[in-house]
Amino acid sequence: MATHDIIVIGASAGGVEAITSVIAELPRDLHASVFVVLHMSRGRSMLAEILTRLGGLPAAQPADGESLQYGRIYVAMPDHHMVLEGGVVRIVHSAAENGVRPAVDPLFRSAARAYGPRVVGVILTGNLDDGTAGLAAIKSAGGVAIVQDPDEAFAPGMPRSAIAAVSVDHVLPLRDIPVMITALTQEIAAPVHAHESSAHLQPMEPDLGQMPLALEPKDRPGRVSVLTCPECHGTLWEADEESILRFRCRVGHVYSAESMLAAQTDEVDRALWIALRTLEERVALTSRLADRARHREHHWVARAFDQRARDAEVEASSAGR
């Protein structure tokens, strides 16, 4: 009989300390494989080295296709999603989800689909709501959902979102999470066939990046939305899965509701700064053209350019407020 031997952990802001606190207290003979996703920017990550040095289990960024082993920590590398498929780890450079890569949802979702009730999902500190849909998939597949107590989390957004949307099994302070994980790895998981009809078996997006063209209704992941993708500006489909509203574009960018709002806010900020920069450049250009016209004694042309410069200055002043 299978035990809960697939442990998936996701975190964002404040996650290094939280993940380290959990991993450091896991036993060296842990009868499970542990997978960790931390939101990070591009570049080199030292998380695997930190976990190996401070914990009792070896941690590393896995290669694509690497086999799963008990007693190992698999850490997602920067700018790549980490997903599970058929007894191996897959490292894919597919579209960002919830505005980040690596994201928590692809790992959790793929673990639920591949291992069902054997999975234990853990949401730690972080902003917004990445991981909520993935944790819902784990619960739908018969797995166990653990969430850090948001009252002690550095950033309570991810824990609170998960608690609000998912029937979480355990809400725990950090110190109790490794104890619970260890206990669960010694318990027999429910049989897989009891959850074959779970919604996670028809996901809104494939985990390995093979996106259908969505020319046929069967390939469309939901109904067409009035919104557009903040990243590529393509058409978005929306679906309400497990009471969680999500959006996906043809390219494969996926957003939860909170991540969509955050992305739209960023897009508005970028648009305003572009508009302000363009107006300031218009002031500089029209002022220069006015000076050139005066130098050539084309006074009526100079006055026209001076007026356009003043108008642009007023617009720039309004945009900058």
CB neighbour list of residue 284: distance below 8 Å, 6 or more residues apart: none
**Structure tokens that stand for 121 in this block:** 């999902």
The DSSP code for 97 is B
Q: Is 12 a catalytic residue?
A: yes
Cα–Cα dist 306/290, whole Å: 6
Whether 173 contacts 152, CB under 8 Å: yes
Catalytic residue among 33, 130, 195, 259: 130
Catalytic residue among 5, 12, 105, 207: 12
Cα–Cα dist 52/22, whole Å: 13
Whether 97 contacts 103, CB under 8 Å: yes
CB neighbour list of residue 87: distance below 8 Å, 6 or more residues apart: 67, 68
Catalytic residue among 4, 33, 39, 129: 39
**Structure tokens that stand for 114 in this block:** 């591949």
Whether 149 contacts 173, CB under 8 Å: yes
Q: Is 193 a catalytic residue?
A: no
Is residue 268 packed enough to be buried (19+ CB in 10 Å), middle (13-18) or exposed (0-12)? exposed
Q: Using CA of residue 154, residue 158, residue 163, residue 169, what is the dihedral sign?
A: negative
Cα–Cα dist 263/245, whole Å: 15
SS3 labels along 216-232: CHHHCCCEEEEEECCCC
Q: Is 130 a catalytic residue?
A: yes
Q: Using CA of residue 280, residue 284, residue 289, residue 295, what is the dihedral sign?
A: positive
Helices (H), the chain: 15-23, 47-54, 104-115, 132-140, 157-165, 177-184, 257-295, 299-319
Q: Could you list the active site residues?
A: 12, 39, 130
